[in-house]
Structure 1
């Protein structure tokens, strides 16, 4: 899988409202030892990943994640930037993800950094 198609699937996971469809995306995209961490969330394994995304949907109903800019790639690492917005509206949050790929080419770990977020 190319880095672009991998990123596209990653954002499809975040934007998938249906838990069963999301579980299929996660199984195809992530290795068995999947780990995700950012300032708001931490998840290990496929089930926790799906629950985490479901929680994000509850927190930001109707919002969608989108990759912005190019994908940086070296060795088994990727880095991309993203934004969170309602369709047709300005982004309310954005960040940078640093991705580690498993030897299989699937996602092993994603470490997310928030570059801007909603004011509290």
Structure 2
């Protein structure tokens, strides 16, 4: 599951045509992504959400914070978002569920630390 979290974060750190490729390779056709600011279904909608985050936070990167906790077909982990090489300004907590082909099917996200 650590590899799946890595692929998940790679997807969130990617823009352009490569984003479409990563979504097609690592996310299921009917994937769902839900957090306090978005609720979308399908790769195209997830891609639009990722592009919107990049537009709002240009130059910021997602990093893994701490260890991945996993069992069965799901993993939970904390992530940070901020300028590359710096302390994250935003910290969140996601639960990722994969399908039988180990592709991301469902993501439930929470925001733990958000600047005022």
Q: Same fold (TM over 0.5)?
A: yes
User: Per the alignment, in what secondary structure is the counterpart of residue 91 of structure 2?
Assistant: strand
Mapped to 2, the partners of 1:80 and 1:90 lie a distance apart of: 17
Query: Aligned pair count?
Result: 116
Moved over 4 A (4+): none
TM-score normalised per structure 2: 0.95
Report the counterpart of residue 30 of structure 2 in structure 1. 33
Mapped to 2, the partners of 1:87 and 1:101 lie a distance apart of: 28
Report the counterpart of residue 58 of structure 1 in structure 2. 55
Counterpart of 2:9 (choices 8, 11, 14) is 11
Offset of 1:9 from its aligned partner? Answer: 1.1
CA RMSD in angstroms, aligned pairs only: 0.9
Q: Which has the higher strand share?
A: 2
Name structure 1 gaps, 5 residues minimum.
Answer: none
TM-score normalised per structure 1: 0.92
1:61-72 map, 5 Å: 61-72=58-69
Name structure 2 gaps, 5 residues minimum.
Answer: none
2:88 pairs with 1:91:
yes
Mapped to 2, the partners of 1:82 and 1:35 lie a distance apart of: 19
